[in-house]
Amino acid sequence: MANEQTKAYLDDRKHVFHSWSAQGLIDPVDVVKAEGSYFWDSNGKKFLDFSSQLVNVNIGHQHPKLVKAIQDYAAKMCTIAPFHANEMRSEAARLITEVAPGDLNMVFFTNGGAEAAENAVRLAKLHTGRHKILTMYRSYHGSTSGAIALTGDPRRWPNEIGASGAVKFWGPYPYRSAFHSSNEKEECERALQHLEDVLMVEGPHTVAMIGLETVVGTNGILVPPEGYLQGVRDLCTRYGIVMMCDEVMAGFGRCGEWFAVNKWHVTPDLICFAKGVNSGYVPLGGVVISQKIADTFKERVYPGGLTYMGHPLACAAAVASINIFKEEKVLEHVRKMAENVIAPELDRLKDKHPSVGDVRGLGMFWAIELVKDRETRQPYVPFNAAGADAKPMAEIVAFCKQQGLWPFTHFNRIHVVPPCTTSEADLRAGIAILDEALNIADKHYVG
């Protein structure tokens, strides 16, 4: 994408080292303005944000009440050390635990999701006295050394540092079942049996925690079949294992619930959160902790902490965001848009375009999985495609951006993940562009 050579762009190219990138092969967009579900580049081009940036701007860009809350608290107190009590930190923790299930009554604040995963592991290991952590293939838990060890996608490969105690298992994925299932009920039963078999050969007495994204995010928007999360909960209870649900992406409205686990009425022992808790206006994450685990550290020092944990401005943003969600009925809006617009429109695209093998999701959290052949389910581009192999997907992305839509894609999937506040008109406009873009995918169809 051609960029006007602004000072911001030139300085970026000289001095900013970008994440997950070959530095000489990228051409970042110089963003100068954002509002609601849109942002603008330095050339004045307007983009409908169907990515929520990194699936985190749940409340939309520049919500005036949220901006004002940060400004107001900055005028009062910009920062204070985490060992003090602070009104915004306390209120954020109260509001978060209020919408969490069961007895998850305490919050350990972090600066983001990866640190939340790291501390969930630490809590589980110290609570149980065990050393192994089970997580899924097709998962992402962060890029710090401990969190990347938990991760089950190719971003882990160049970051592996040897023994970590992390063990992988296959989660449910009905469209591409690792268990040769023919329906969701079979997929649930066989996935749970597989997990129990992994526990058997690893030794359940050595396993501190089973951690999973409640709804798998970047690796496919994989919604668990009915009964799966309860089955995991039952295994954890049986063997004294901590159950952690990673809701960094799935939480705070993304699935139409405060926490996605609430949809299935399951109570884990730990919940990791970040992203949508305040839409990234100021970095914030954390772990919501059950009373039982918190009690482990009543008279025992918890050996972890961060200089900026529970940062007052970040917590002020979280307090404001949660209250805005309630006042503006954002959860209700997400459910309504999912039922009346996104689900039927994506089903229509599936009926129309042979390259669409599957659509799935809930709330404002959906995936369009592209294939070259519906019969064989051959992916539109290979797993972990790069270079020439990834070109067919790059063509779709380029078309969307040309039309003013900023998409989120991963491997052979387009994810439909706009801000949770996106209007019906904007949703329909974005899906209409995707409809056009899928004509490109259809040209590669060979089935």
Domain annotation covers residue 38: yes
Mark out the alpha helices in 312-388 (DSSP H runs): 312-327, 330-337, 343-352
- Please tell me the predicted confidence (pLDDT) of residue 4: 65
Q: Tell whether 50 and 69 lie within a shared domain.
A: no
Q: Tell whether 121 and 191 lie within a shared domain.
A: yes
CATH code where residue 98 lies: 3.40.640.10
Q: Tell whether 77 and 17 lie within a shared domain.
A: no
Domain annotation covers residue 80: yes
Q: Tell whether 93 and 222 lie within a shared domain.
A: yes
How many folded domains does the chain comprise?
2
Last residue of a domain, one of 283, 311, 327: 327
3-state secondary structure of 370: strand
Q: Tell whether 251 and 178 lie within a shared domain.
A: yes
Domain annotation covers residue 137: yes
Q: Tell whether 336 and 323 lie within a shared domain.
A: no
Q: Tell whether 48 and 84 lie within a shared domain.
A: no
Check if the beta carbon of residue 320 is closer than 8 Å to that of residue 328: no
pLDDT one-digit tens code per residue, 51-60: 999 999 999 9
Last residue of a domain, one of 327, 351, 375: 327
- Please tell me the predicted confidence (pLDDT) of residue 163: 64
- Please tell me the predicted confidence (pLDDT) of residue 71: 98
Q: Tell whether 294 and 176 lie within a shared domain.
A: yes
CB burial of 372-381 (b: ≥16 within 10 Å; e: otherwise) equals: beeeeeebbb
Domain annotation covers residue 155: yes
* Dihedral pair phi/psi, residue 349, rounded to 5°: -65, -40
On average, the pLDDT of the chain sits at 97
Domain annotation covers residue 2: no
CATH code where residue 20 lies: 3.90.1150.10
146: left (phi over 0), alpha (psi -120 to 50) or beta: alpha
The most distant pair of C-alpha atoms in the chain lies apart, rounded to whole Å, by 65
Q: What is the pLDDT along the chain (447 residues), one digit of tens a residue?
A: 445 689 999 999 999 999 999 999 999 999 999 999 999 999 999 999 999 999 999 999 999 999 999 999 999 999 999 999 999 999 999 999 999 999 999 999 999 999 999 999 999 999 999 999 999 999 999 999 999 999 999 999 888 876 678 999 999 999 999 999 999 999 999 999 999 999 999 999 999 999 999 999 999 999 999 999 999 999 999 999 999 999 999 999 999 999 999 999 999 999 999 999 999 999 999 999 999 999 999 999 999 999 999 999 999 999 999 999 999 999 999 999 999 999 999 999 999 999 999 999 999 999 999 999 999 999 999 999 999 999 999 999 999 999 999 999 999 999 999 999 999 999 999 999 999 999 999 999 998
Domain annotation covers residue 1: no
Q: Tell whether 153 and 184 lie within a shared domain.
A: yes
Last residue of a domain, one of 327, 350, 368: 327
Q: Answer yes or no: pTM beyond 0.85.
A: yes
Q: Tell whether 35 and 154 lie within a shared domain.
A: no
- Please tell me the predicted confidence (pLDDT) of residue 1: 44
Q: Tell whether 195 and 339 lie within a shared domain.
A: no
Question: Residue 222: beta bridge partners?
Answer: 216
Check if the beta carbon of residue 356 is closer than 8 Å to that of residue 350: yes
Domain annotation covers residue 166: yes
Domain region containing 176: 65-327
Q: Tell whether 52 and 135 lie within a shared domain.
A: no
Domain annotation covers residue 274: yes
- Please tell me the predicted confidence (pLDDT) of residue 164: 72
d(CA 278, CA 287): 15
d(CA 229, CA 300): 31
